[in-house]
Amino acid sequence: MSENKDGLSFRRIRFKLEAAGFDEVRQLGNHAKFVKRRGPEIWTAVIPHYTEISASTLRSIIQQSGLSQKDFDAL
């Protein structure tokens, strides 16, 4: 069963992205921007700073990060 069916907290998603090599580069309002550089590629994910992030928003964050659902769940 996938973790994102009910969504996750901002803190849990931040932990997972940092474990995948992302760095938080800024926070503007209630959104934080994370960046990971892989050679010439730059992956960017924006996370709303909410207590609970919905499953559909979480899917978008995972897609932005370039990670597969399986890899994200394993973090």
28-37 contacts, C-beta under 8 A, 24 or more apart:
34/65, 36/65, 36/66
Is 72 domain-assigned? yes
Q: What pLDDT, on the 0 to 100 scale, is given for residue 6?
A: 67
Percent of the chain predicted with pLDDT > 90:
84
Is 4 part of any domain? Answer: no
Predicted local distance difference test score (pLDDT) of residue 56 = 92
Average pLDDT over residues 31-59: 94
For 54-65, what is the mean pLDDT? 94
Hey, is 26 helix, strand or coil? strand
The letter for the amino acid at 67 is L
pTM: 0.86
State what percent of residues in the chain have pLDDT above 70. 92
Give, in degrees to the nearest 5, the angle at Cα 27 between 26 and 31.
130
Q: Is residue 30 part of a domain?
A: yes
Q: How many separate domains does the chain show?
A: 1
- Give the structural domain span for 58: 25-75
Q: Is 12 contained in some domain?
A: no
